[in-house]
Chains A and B, each alone.
Chain A
Amino acid sequence: GQNIDQPTEMTATEGAIVQINCTYQTSGFNGLFWYQQHAGEAPTFLSYNVLDGLEEKGRFSSFLSRSKGYSYLLLKELQMKDSASYLCAVRDGNDYKLSFGAGTTVTVRA
Protein backbone atom coordinates (compact mmCIF):
# COMPACT_ATOMS: atom_id res chain seq x y z
CA GLY A 1 0.00 0.00 0.00
CA GLN A 2 0.86 3.65 -0.10
CA ASN A 3 1.36 5.94 2.88
CA ILE A 4 2.16 9.58 2.29
CA ASP A 5 2.25 12.00 5.21
CA GLN A 6 2.45 15.76 5.28
CA PRO A 7 1.37 18.34 7.88
CA THR A 8 -2.22 19.50 7.71
CA GLU A 9 -1.65 23.21 8.12
CA MET A 10 1.12 25.80 8.24
CA THR A 11 1.04 29.54 8.75
CA ALA A 12 3.77 32.01 7.82
CA THR A 13 4.30 35.70 7.33
CA GLU A 14 4.58 37.48 4.00
CA GLY A 15 8.22 37.57 2.90
CA ALA A 16 9.21 34.62 5.08
CA ILE A 17 10.24 31.06 4.17
CA VAL A 18 8.16 27.96 4.77
CA GLN A 19 9.24 24.32 4.43
CA ILE A 20 6.60 21.64 3.86
CA ASN A 21 7.79 18.13 4.66
CA CYS A 22 6.51 14.95 3.08
CA THR A 23 7.37 11.41 4.09
CA TYR A 24 6.33 8.39 2.10
CA GLN A 25 6.24 4.63 2.31
CA THR A 26 5.28 3.13 -1.01
CA SER A 27 5.56 -0.24 -2.68
CA GLY A 28 7.73 1.29 -5.38
CA PHE A 29 9.19 4.64 -6.28
CA ASN A 30 9.35 6.31 -9.65
CA GLY A 31 9.29 10.00 -8.87
CA LEU A 32 7.84 12.54 -6.43
CA PHE A 33 5.67 15.49 -7.42
CA TRP A 34 4.53 18.67 -5.73
CA TYR A 35 1.32 20.39 -6.79
CA GLN A 36 -0.29 23.65 -5.69
CA GLN A 37 -4.04 23.79 -5.37
CA HIS A 38 -6.03 26.94 -4.65
CA ALA A 39 -9.48 26.42 -3.19
CA GLY A 40 -11.90 25.28 -5.85
CA GLU A 41 -9.23 25.14 -8.52
CA ALA A 42 -7.19 22.53 -10.36
CA PRO A 43 -3.94 21.22 -8.91
CA THR A 44 -1.09 22.86 -10.81
CA PHE A 45 2.29 21.22 -11.22
CA LEU A 46 5.19 22.72 -9.25
CA SER A 47 8.06 20.26 -9.27
CA TYR A 48 9.24 16.74 -10.00
CA ASN A 49 12.12 14.87 -8.31
CA VAL A 50 13.32 11.42 -9.21
CA LEU A 51 16.96 11.64 -8.07
CA ASP A 52 18.26 12.68 -4.66
CA GLY A 53 19.00 16.35 -4.19
CA LEU A 54 17.56 19.79 -4.55
CA GLU A 55 15.68 21.14 -7.55
CA GLU A 56 15.30 24.91 -7.61
CA LYS A 57 12.75 26.78 -9.64
CA GLY A 58 12.47 30.45 -8.80
CA ARG A 59 11.04 30.97 -5.33
CA PHE A 60 10.19 27.28 -5.01
CA SER A 61 12.64 24.44 -4.37
CA SER A 62 12.04 20.75 -3.81
CA PHE A 63 14.33 18.25 -2.15
CA LEU A 64 14.32 14.47 -2.24
CA SER A 65 16.06 11.75 -0.21
CA ARG A 66 15.04 8.34 -1.51
CA SER A 67 16.85 6.42 1.23
CA LYS A 68 14.87 8.29 3.88
CA GLY A 69 11.58 8.37 1.99
CA TYR A 70 11.51 12.10 2.50
CA SER A 71 10.93 15.24 0.50
CA TYR A 72 10.32 18.88 1.25
CA LEU A 73 9.00 21.85 -0.67
CA LEU A 74 10.60 25.16 0.20
CA LEU A 75 8.72 28.38 -0.51
CA LYS A 76 10.81 31.54 -0.25
CA GLU A 77 9.82 35.21 -0.16
CA LEU A 78 6.25 34.26 0.57
CA GLN A 79 3.49 36.22 -1.10
CA MET A 80 -0.17 36.39 -0.23
CA LYS A 81 -1.01 34.53 -3.44
CA ASP A 82 0.99 31.54 -2.15
CA SER A 83 -1.84 30.80 0.29
CA ALA A 84 -3.03 27.44 -1.02
CA SER A 85 -2.93 23.71 -0.43
CA TYR A 86 0.32 21.96 -1.40
CA LEU A 87 0.05 18.34 -2.44
CA CYS A 88 2.83 15.79 -2.28
CA ALA A 89 2.39 12.87 -4.69
CA VAL A 90 4.46 9.77 -5.35
CA ARG A 91 4.49 7.69 -8.50
CA ASP A 92 5.06 4.05 -7.69
CA GLY A 93 6.35 1.40 -10.03
CA ASN A 94 3.73 2.22 -12.65
CA ASP A 95 4.47 5.00 -15.07
CA TYR A 96 1.29 6.91 -14.58
CA LYS A 97 -0.46 6.40 -11.24
CA LEU A 98 0.07 9.05 -8.57
CA SER A 99 -0.60 8.54 -4.87
CA PHE A 100 -1.33 11.82 -3.11
CA GLY A 101 -0.94 12.99 0.45
CA ALA A 102 -3.88 14.83 2.01
CA GLY A 103 -2.24 18.18 1.34
CA THR A 104 -0.81 20.99 3.49
CA THR A 105 -2.82 24.19 3.71
CA VAL A 106 -0.45 27.15 3.85
CA THR A 107 -1.81 30.47 5.06
CA VAL A 108 0.30 33.57 4.42
CA ARG A 109 -0.39 36.48 6.75
CA ALA A 110 0.51 40.10 6.14
Chain B
Amino acid sequence: NAGVMQNPRHLVRRRGQEARLRCSPMKGHSHVYWYRQLPEEGLKFMVYLQKENIIDESGMPKERFSAEFPKEGPSILRIQQVVRGDSAAYFCASSPPGSEPITEAFFGQGTRLTVV
Protein backbone atom coordinates (compact mmCIF):
# COMPACT_ATOMS: atom_id res chain seq x y z
CA ASN B 1 0.00 0.00 0.00
CA ALA B 2 1.84 3.05 -1.24
CA GLY B 3 1.84 6.08 0.99
CA VAL B 4 1.13 9.64 0.00
CA MET B 5 3.03 10.28 -3.21
CA GLN B 6 4.29 13.69 -4.15
CA ASN B 7 6.13 14.69 -7.27
CA PRO B 8 8.44 16.08 -8.15
CA ARG B 9 10.65 15.76 -5.06
CA HIS B 10 12.69 18.75 -6.15
CA LEU B 11 11.62 21.56 -8.45
CA VAL B 12 13.65 24.52 -9.62
CA ARG B 13 11.91 27.45 -11.24
CA ARG B 14 13.04 30.87 -12.39
CA ARG B 15 11.23 33.91 -11.08
CA GLY B 16 8.02 34.48 -13.01
CA GLN B 17 7.53 30.86 -14.05
CA GLU B 18 4.75 28.56 -12.90
CA ALA B 19 5.22 25.70 -10.45
CA ARG B 20 2.91 22.67 -10.35
CA LEU B 21 3.12 20.32 -7.41
CA ARG B 22 1.28 17.00 -7.46
CA CYS B 23 -0.05 14.87 -4.65
CA SER B 24 -1.63 11.43 -4.86
CA PRO B 25 -3.26 10.51 -1.55
CA MET B 26 -3.07 7.10 0.03
CA LYS B 27 -5.41 4.51 -1.42
CA GLY B 28 -8.87 4.99 0.01
CA HIS B 29 -8.18 8.52 1.24
CA SER B 30 -10.36 11.28 -0.12
CA HIS B 31 -9.18 14.21 2.00
CA VAL B 32 -6.04 16.12 1.05
CA TYR B 33 -4.23 18.87 2.93
CA TRP B 34 -1.36 21.04 1.75
CA TYR B 35 1.20 22.53 4.13
CA ARG B 36 4.20 24.77 3.49
CA GLN B 37 7.42 24.62 5.49
CA LEU B 38 9.73 27.59 5.25
CA PRO B 39 13.34 27.24 6.45
CA GLU B 40 13.56 27.29 10.26
CA GLU B 41 9.77 27.47 10.57
CA GLY B 42 6.99 25.02 11.34
CA LEU B 43 4.59 23.63 8.81
CA LYS B 44 1.84 26.08 7.96
CA PHE B 45 -1.59 24.92 6.82
CA MET B 46 -2.53 26.11 3.36
CA VAL B 47 -5.62 24.33 2.08
CA TYR B 48 -7.94 21.38 2.68
CA LEU B 49 -9.64 19.69 -0.23
CA GLN B 50 -12.00 16.83 -0.84
CA LYS B 51 -12.71 15.42 -4.28
CA GLU B 52 -13.78 18.36 -6.49
CA ASN B 53 -14.26 20.62 -3.47
CA ILE B 54 -12.14 23.17 -1.64
CA ILE B 55 -13.20 22.95 1.99
CA ASP B 56 -10.85 25.45 3.62
CA GLU B 57 -8.30 27.64 1.84
CA SER B 58 -7.74 30.06 4.70
CA GLY B 59 -3.98 29.47 4.63
CA MET B 60 -3.51 30.12 0.94
CA PRO B 61 -2.02 33.43 -0.21
CA LYS B 62 -4.71 35.44 -1.93
CA GLU B 63 -2.81 35.76 -5.19
CA ARG B 64 -0.85 33.41 -7.43
CA PHE B 65 -1.69 30.25 -5.47
CA SER B 66 -4.45 27.81 -6.33
CA ALA B 67 -5.26 24.19 -5.54
CA GLU B 68 -7.53 21.57 -6.97
CA PHE B 69 -8.42 17.94 -6.37
CA PRO B 70 -10.24 16.67 -9.45
CA LYS B 71 -12.49 13.66 -9.57
CA GLU B 72 -9.75 11.74 -11.34
CA GLY B 73 -6.05 12.20 -10.79
CA PRO B 74 -3.86 13.82 -8.17
CA SER B 75 -4.33 17.01 -6.25
CA ILE B 76 -2.44 19.91 -7.78
CA LEU B 77 -0.99 22.94 -6.01
CA ARG B 78 -0.25 25.63 -8.59
CA ILE B 79 1.91 28.68 -7.99
CA GLN B 80 1.92 31.23 -10.75
CA GLN B 81 4.67 33.81 -11.36
CA VAL B 82 6.86 32.39 -8.62
CA VAL B 83 9.04 34.67 -6.51
CA ARG B 84 12.06 33.85 -4.35
CA GLY B 85 9.91 33.92 -1.21
CA ASP B 86 7.98 30.91 -2.53
CA SER B 87 11.06 28.73 -2.03
CA ALA B 88 10.02 26.18 0.58
CA ALA B 89 9.10 22.56 1.14
CA TYR B 90 5.48 21.83 0.29
CA PHE B 91 3.95 18.84 2.01
CA CYS B 92 0.75 17.05 1.23
CA ALA B 93 -1.14 14.94 3.74
CA SER B 94 -4.18 12.72 3.35
CA SER B 95 -6.77 11.10 5.55
CA PRO B 96 -9.65 8.73 4.97
CA PRO B 97 -13.25 9.82 4.47
CA GLY B 98 -15.61 10.00 7.39
CA SER B 99 -17.07 12.46 9.81
CA GLU B 100 -14.79 11.66 12.73
CA PRO B 101 -11.95 14.08 13.47
CA ILE B 102 -8.73 12.75 12.08
CA THR B 103 -6.39 11.33 14.67
CA GLU B 104 -3.61 10.85 12.21
CA ALA B 105 -2.66 12.38 8.90
CA PHE B 106 -0.19 10.69 6.60
CA PHE B 107 2.30 13.01 4.98
CA GLY B 108 4.09 12.71 1.68
CA GLN B 109 7.82 13.31 1.35
CA GLY B 110 7.29 16.81 0.10
CA THR B 111 8.31 18.86 -2.90
CA ARG B 112 11.21 21.19 -2.36
CA LEU B 113 10.72 24.25 -4.53
CA THR B 114 13.66 26.49 -5.24
CA VAL B 115 13.09 29.74 -7.08
CA VAL B 116 16.21 31.18 -8.69
Contacts and interface: CB of A to CB of B under 8 A. Distances in A.
A45 B42 contact: no
Given A96-B95, A97-B56, A45 B106 contact: yes
Interface residues of A, number: 25
Contacts of B40: 102
B45 A97 contact: yes
Interface stretch (B66-74, B80-88, B96-104): B96-104
Contacts of B101: 30-31, 91, 95-96
A99 B95 CA distance: 17
Interface residues of B, number: 28
Contact of A96 (B3, B4, B31): B31
Interface in A62-91: 87, 89, 91
A100 B43 contact: yes
A19 interface: no
Nearest to A48: B103
Contact of B33 (A30, A42, A45, A96): A96
A44 B107 contact: yes
B42 A102 contact: yes
Contacts of B31: 96
Contact of B42 (A31, A42, A97, A101): A101
Contacts of B105: 45, 98
Nearest to B100: A95
Nearest to B107: A42
A43 B104 CA distance: 11
Contacts of A106: none
Contacts of A94: 56
Contact of A42 (B44, B45, B109): B109
8 contacts: A33-B104, A43-B107, A45-B106, A95-B101, A96-B95, A96-B101, A97-B48, A98-B45
